Amino acid sequence: MAQPETKERILDAAERLFSDLGIRGVSLRAITTAARANLAAVNYHFGSKDELIKAVLARRIEPVNTVRLQRLAELTAGDAVAELEDVLDALLRPAFELASDPDAGAFCTRLIGRVQTEADQTFREFCAEQFQDVAERFTAAIAAACPQLEPRELAWRFQFMIGSMSFTLTDALDLHTRSGGLCDPHDADDATEQLVRFAAAGFRAPIGQKNQAGQENTA
Amino acid sequence: MAQPETKERILDAAERLFSDLGIRGVSLRAITTAARANLAAVNYHFGSKDELIKAVLARRIEPVNTVRLQRLAELTAGDAVAELEDVLDALLRPAFELASDPDAGAFCTRLIGRVQTEADQTFREFCAEQFQDVAERFTAAIAAACPQLEPRELAWRFQFMIGSMSFTLTDALDLHTRSGGLCDPHDADDATEQLVRFAAAGFRAPIGQKNQAGQENTA
DNA sequence: GTCTATACAGTGATAGAC
DNA sequence: GTCTATCACTGTATAGAC
C-alpha cells in the first residue's frame, strides 16, 4: 500500500502493454511482471483477463461519456432544441480528444475502437452497454434537430456515424499514410470538424422516394 | 484426395467455427477434428493459425473485390465520368450482398468487418493490403464524380464511408434491436441504399471555410 | 483483505517417423 | 502428405502465508 495500489498498477501496465502489443500479444504474466505484482493478483482483483480488459476500457470510457452527456445537457437546457452540428460535436469531440491525448489517449482509444468490433461478443456487448445511455440521449437530440427525419433513417444514419467515428479512432486504414500526410486522425479538432460536417450532411440527406414499408422480408 | 482436399476441408471448418464462436474461441484442435484432419495439417498447409485466418478471409474477400472492380470498370468504360451514387453502389453493394448470403455470408462477413479493426496489426495490415487497390481506384472515381472536392476532404470522407460500411457489416451496435426492428443490416438492398444516400450527401457537403493549411502540427 | 507460490488443463507450434 | 509425440506457454484455480 506504500506505492500506488496494486490494482491501479495492474491497470496502468495492462493499458500500456495492450495498446503497444494488442490484447492477444500480452500475457497476464507480462502484465503482472511489469506491474511488479503476482500473477494471481489479476484474478484476485479482476476475476479474469477479460474482466481486466473491461476495467481498462471502463476507466477511460466513463469520463468521455460523462463529458458527452454534460455538453448535451448544456445544449438542451431549458428545453432548447440544439443545432445538429452542436449535438454531433458534443458526441464526437470527447472521443477524438481522448484519442489525441498523448498521456492516456493513443493507448486506450485504439483499444476502445478495436474492442467495439472485436471478434468476441463479450467486449462488444460490454461496450454497447456502456454506450447505450449515450446513444439513446443523442439519438433523441438528433431527432429533435432533424424533425423531418424518419426513425428508420435516423437509426441507419446514427449507426453509420458511430461507425465512422469508431473506424477513425482505430485508424484501421492508416489515414495518415493513405492521404499522403494530408490528414491526421490524431488531430482532434480536425477529425471532429471533418466528421461533423460529413455526418450532418448525411443526416440531412433526403430520404429515398420508395419507402421500404411494403418490401418483402427475405430473412 | 478422394474426398475434398484436406486444405479445403480445413478452410470450410475454420470458417464455420470462427463465425459461430469467434476466432479466440476456436482451437486448432477443434478445427482439425471437425475437418477430419490431423492437428499438424494446419501448420503444414497454412504455416500458422494466423495464416489460416488470412486464408479464410481471402477466399471470400477476393471475389467481392473482383466484382467491385468489374462494376467500376463498366461505369467508367470509355473514359465516362460515373455518377457518385453509382460508384458508391459498386463499392458497397458487393460487401452487403456477401453479408446477406445465408450460405457463406453471415459467417465470414462478421469476420471481415471484425478483423479489419482487430487488435492485432497483423490482420489489419493484411486487410489493408487486400483493399488497397480497390481503395485507390474508387477514390479516383469519387474524385472524378466530385470535381470540387479537395483531396484532404476526399481522404477523410472515404475513411468515414468505409468505417460506416465496416461497422454495419459487423453490426457492432445491434442495429436491428436498437431500431426496434425497423432496420435489418442483413437486407443488402436496404443497407446499400441507405449508406449510398448517407455517404453521397457527406461527399457533397461543402468544405469548411477555414482551411487547415496554415495550422500547426502538434505531433 | 491482500498477496504468494504452485499446480493444472488446454493452446499453438514443431521435429521427426512413416 | 500425414501422423505421433512433445515442447514452451497460456489463463485459471487454489491452498496457504502475512
pLDDT of residue B99: 85
Most confident of the ranges A94-98, A199-203, B19-23, B173-177: A199-203
Grid cell of A13 as nine digits: 501496465
pLDDT tens-digit readout, A38-72: 999 999 999 999 999 999 989 988 999 999 999 99
* Cβ–Cβ < 8 Å for A71, A137: no
Q: What is the mean pLDDT of residues A147-162?
A: 97
B89: pLDDT strictly greater than 80: yes
Chain B contact probe: residue of A198, A210, A218 with most B CBs at under 10 A? A198
Rounded to the nearest integer, the mean pLDDT of chain B is: 87
pLDDT of residue B75: 97
Q: Which nucleotide, over all strands, has the C1' atom closest to the CA of A41?
A: C3
A212: pLDDT strictly greater than 70: no
C-alpha pair distances (Å), B150 with each of A210, B57, B83, B144, B146: 33, 34, 18, 11, 9
Interface of A with B in 37-96 (CB under 8 A): none
pLDDT of residue A2: 44
C-alpha pair distances (Å), A134 with each of A24, B44, B186: 29, 49, 25
Contact residues for strand C with beta carbon within 7 Å: A 1, 5-7, 37-41, 44-45; B 26-30, 39-40, 42-43, 47-50
pLDDT of residue A219: 38
The minimal CB distance from A172 to the residues B117, B180, B207 is found for: B117
Question: Which string of DSSP letters, residue by residue, matches A117-183?
Answer: T-SSHHHHHHHHHHHHHHHHHHHHHHHHH-TT--HHHHHHHHHHHHHHHHHHHHTTT-HHHHTTTS-
- Amino acid type, B163: G
pLDDT of residue A164: 96
B134: pLDDT strictly greater than 90: yes
For B133, other C-beta atoms within 10 Å of its C-beta total: 12
Q: What is the mean pLDDT of residues B30-34?
A: 97
Interface of A with B in 106-135 (CB under 8 A): 111, 113-121, 124, 127-128, 131, 135
Helix then strand then coil, in percent of chain A rounded to 5, is 70, 0, 30
Sign of CA dihedral B180, B16, A167, B219: positive
pLDDT tens-digit readout, B47-56: 999 999 999 9
CB-facing half-sphere around the CA of B159: CA atoms within 13 A: 29
pLDDT of residue A24: 79
**What whole-number distance in Å separates Cα of residue A166 and Cα of residue B168?**
11
pLDDT of residue A217: 43
B11: pLDDT strictly greater than 50: yes
Q: What percent of chain A has pLDDT over 90?
A: 66
The pLDDT-based confidence of B116 (bands split at 50, 70, 90) is low
Give the residue among A206, A204, A177, A57 at the shortest CA–CA distance from A128: A57
pLDDT of residue B102: 73
Cβ neighbours of residue B35 under 8 Å, at least 6 residues apart? Answer: B6, B9, B10, B12, B13, B14, B41
The verdict on pTM exceeding 0.75 is: yes
- Amino acid type, B143: A
Cβ neighbours of residue A69 under 8 Å, at least 6 residues apart? Answer: A133, A134, A137
How would you class B23 by CB atoms within 10 Å of its CB: exposed for 0-12, middle for 13-18, buried for 19 or more? buried
pLDDT of residue B106: 59
The pLDDT-based confidence of B69 (bands split at 50, 70, 90) is very high
pLDDT of residue A208: 76
Q: What percent of chain B has pLDDT over 90?
A: 64
Q: What is the mean pLDDT of residues A135-156?
A: 97
A118: pLDDT strictly greater than 60: no
Give the residue among A189, A181, A200 at the shortest CA–CA distance from A96: A189
- Chain C positions within 7 A of any protein Cβ atom are 2-7, 10-16
Burial string for A68-104 (b: 16+ CB within 10 Å, else e) reads bbebbeebbeeeeebebebbbbbbbbbbbbbbbbeeb
Q: How far is CA B17 from the centre of its chain?
A: 20
The pLDDT-based confidence of B208 (bands split at 50, 70, 90) is confident
How would you class B144 by CB atoms within 10 Å of its CB: exposed for 0-12, middle for 13-18, buried for 19 or more? middle
Whats the size of chain A, residue-wise?
219
pLDDT of residue B117: 47
B219: pLDDT strictly greater than 90: no
> From the CA of B81, how many Å to the nearest CA of chain A?
23
Q: What percent of chain B has pLDDT over 70?
A: 84
pLDDT of residue A216: 46
pLDDT of residue B215: 43
Q: How far is CA B37 from the centre of its chain?
A: 30
> From the Cβ of B156, is strand D under 7 Å away?
no
Q: What is the mean pLDDT of residues B159-184?
A: 90
The pLDDT-based confidence of B126 (bands split at 50, 70, 90) is confident
| Higher pLDDT among residues A187 and B1, named by residue | A187
B124: pLDDT strictly greater than 90: no
- Chain D positions within 7 A of any protein Cβ atom are 1-5, 9-15
The pLDDT-based confidence of A1 (bands split at 50, 70, 90) is very low
pLDDT tens-digit readout, A127-137: 888 899 999 99
